[in-house]
Structure 1
Amino acid sequence: MSKIYVIHENNEWTEHLLKRLEELNLPFEDWLLDSGKIDLSTAPPEGIFYNRMSASSHTRGNRFAPELTNAVLAWLEHHGRTVINGSRALQLEVSKVLQYLELEKYGVKTPKTIAAVGRENILQAAQAFEGKKFITKHNRAGKGLGVQLFNSISALEKYVDGDTFEEPVDGVTLLQEYIESPESYITRCEFVNGKFLYAVRVDTSEGFELCPADACAIDDLFCPVGEESEQPAKFQVREGFDHPVLKKYERVLAANNIRVAGIEFIEDKDGNIYTYDINTNTNYNSDAEAKSGKYGMLEVAKFLGEELEKLGEPVRS
């Protein structure tokens, strides 16, 4: 019998989806790809394959999980299997450069960005931001990896020469104009089956590591898990959010065969929207969802069940 295969490298970010699949009584298999092998002379099993590989896998000791996943996805696609967030989605997941180029192609404004490899080139690239605030980030990132704010090139020079400099896993450092919001928040738009589901307001007043998952690495100091405070919640669903950029996002996702994603933007004081991240391994915050009554992983599970039904086999209910 065909079933749903969930491809990933992090059990903590996947358990909520598996629970939803169980609730819906859908047949599934947890396919952990932190390591492994594939025999290219064999055919894959029948079913629906949902790729949840993360660009930040190397921070959990799974340095080559995306490369292995790329091989597995190529194998699945070669045999005509139904893959949700396939090879092209993975390409964008591990490269912000590709993300920005695709967003710009469909009329989505992104911050001015320069990609550089090597200390001297990083410092030379910073000349383009002389007299302005700018940030650095990793090309292959996730969870706000490598995001640092600078007010001057001299401050950047101290950083790249110092002990705290983070070498990107692919070697590519991005320098990007700093978009200052009148309020310290960004917006993350969630999509399931390529369609807008809801938007979340994320408080950035305490930093850039904006992982919305209920289980984050111990060094994600700004993850909201377990926090109890009288302050407004870090993650809040923006009820009734609507904006013309959403249709552009949907076109970007459709063009790149991305069915499940979270896309993040920031708004400046003049109301201009700058989009800076596409997450094809999207997570959801349970506190924010409970307050709004919208549940991302439930919608993903329903979507996967519908895709399984299209294979023509009965699905348990």
Structure 2
Amino acid sequence: MSKVYVIHENSEWTVHLTRRLEELGIPFEEWHLDEGTVDLSSIPPEGIYYSRMSASSHTRDHRYAPEFTLQVLAWLEAHGRTVFNGTRALQLEVSKVQQYLELNKYGVQTPRTIAAVGKENILKAAKSFEGKPFITKHNRAGKGLGVQLFQTFGSLKAYVEGPAFEEPVDGITLIQEYIQAPESFITRCEFVGGKFVYAVKVDTSEGFELCPADACQIGDLFCPVGEEVEEKPKFQILEGFYDPILAKYEQVLAGNNVKVAGIEFIRNQDGEIFTYDINTNTNYNSDAEAKAGKYGMLELAKYLKTALEQSVNAVGV
């Protein structure tokens, strides 16, 4: 029997989807690929496949899950299986450099960024931002990990040469211009089937932990857009949101065969949009969704159900 195969490495981030699949009566099976084997001479089961592999898997002791998953996805695609968020999506998930290059290709503005390997090169790159604040982040991160704000070159030098320096898992540190926003929030646009579903306003006043999943808790990190003390929901779905940038985002996703994603942007003092993240393992915040009456995982489950039905009808199973 054909079914939906959900590929992932973190059950806490997947249970909300599997519950929706059960609710809609969709047959499914989870492939937890933190480790395993793949016989290249074997033939994958019939069905459709959806990958939720995460760039932050190494923070859960699943260091090689993305590398292994990339091989499994290639195997599935080689056999003509329907794969949502396949090899290309995973390549983008684990590389902000590749994300920015693709965004720029489609006319989407990103913050000025330099990729560097080695502490000396990090410092060298930072000198070109002299006189202006800048941030560092990991090329492969997830959840806002590794984000730091620096006002001066000296403060970066002390950090890089000190015991608190955090080495990126892939060795690549990004030095990026700091986008000063008038208010402490960013906007995350959610897409299912490559089409816009809703936008969520994310309060960053208490840190740069932007993962909306209920299970996400990594403590306070650097907030890139200032400070506020007013208490308010961290995630708020924006009713009736529209911006011309959405059309470009959909072009980026279509051009890279990405069906499910959350894309984040920030506006500067002049209202210009700077896009800085494509999350192909996007999560949704249950409180914000309940208040707005919109449910990302339900929309995704419906999309997978339709895809499975079409696949079954096509092969006559």
Report TM bin, short chain. over 0.9
Report the TM-score, using the length of structure 1 for normalisation.
Answer: 0.95
Residue 136 to residue 43, structure 1, CA distance change in 2 (3 Å): same
For residues 100-141 of structure 1, give each alpha carbon's deviation from its aligned partner in whole angstroms, at most 9, with x where no partner exists.
000000000000000000010000000111000100000001
For residues 170-229 of structure 1, give each alpha carbon's deviation from its aligned partner in whole angstroms, at most 9, with x where no partner exists.
000000000011000000000000000000000111111211001124x3447xxxxxx9
**1:312 Cα deviation (Å)?**
2.7
Instruction: Report the equivalent of 1:104.
Output: 104
Provide structure 2 residue ranges, at least 5 long, that are not aligned to the other structure: 222-228
**1:240 Cα deviation (Å)?**
0.7
> Is the 2:206–2:220 contact (alpha carbons within 8 Å) kept by the matching residues of 1?
no
CA distance in 2, matches of 1:268, 1:257: 30
Provide structure 1 residue ranges, at least 5 long, that are not aligned to the other structure: 223-228
Instruction: Report the equivalent of 2:276.
Output: 276
Q: How does 1:179-218 map to 2 (within 5 A)?
A: 179-217=179-217
CA distance in 1, matches of 2:189, 2:52: 17
CA distance in 1, matches of 2:216, 2:187: 19
After the TM superposition, which segments of 4 or more aligned residues of structure 1 sit over 3 Å from their partners?
none
Q: Which amino acid aligns with 1:170?
A: D
Q: How does 1:116-155 map to 2 (within 5 A)?
A: 116-155=116-155
> Is the 1:114–1:176 contact (alpha carbons within 8 Å) kept by the matching residues of 2?
yes
Secondary structure at 1:126 match in 2: helix
Report the TM-score, using the length of structure 2 for normalisation.
Answer: 0.95
Q: How does 1:155-166 map to 2 (within 5 A)?
A: 155-166=155-166
CA distance in 1, matches of 2:74, 2:135: 35
Secondary structure at 2:44 match in 1: coil
**1:145 Cα deviation (Å)?**
1.1
CA distance in 1, matches of 2:39, 2:268: 51
Instruction: Report the equivalent of 1:76.
Output: 76
For residues 290-312 of structure 1, give each alpha carbon's deviation from its aligned partner in whole angstroms, at most 9, with x where no partner exists.
01000000000000001101113
| Identical pairs, percent | 72
> Is the 2:208–2:220 contact (alpha carbons within 8 Å) kept by the matching residues of 1?
no
Q: How does 1:202-241 map to 2 (within 5 A)?
A: 202-217=202-217, 219-221=218-220, 231-241=231-241
CA distance in 2, matches of 1:113, 1:166: 19
> Is the 1:191–1:262 contact (alpha carbons within 8 Å) kept by the matching residues of 2?
yes
> Is the 2:7–2:50 contact (alpha carbons within 8 Å) kept by the matching residues of 1?
yes
Q: Which amino acid aligns with 2:283?
A: N
CA distance in 2, matches of 1:173, 1:51: 26
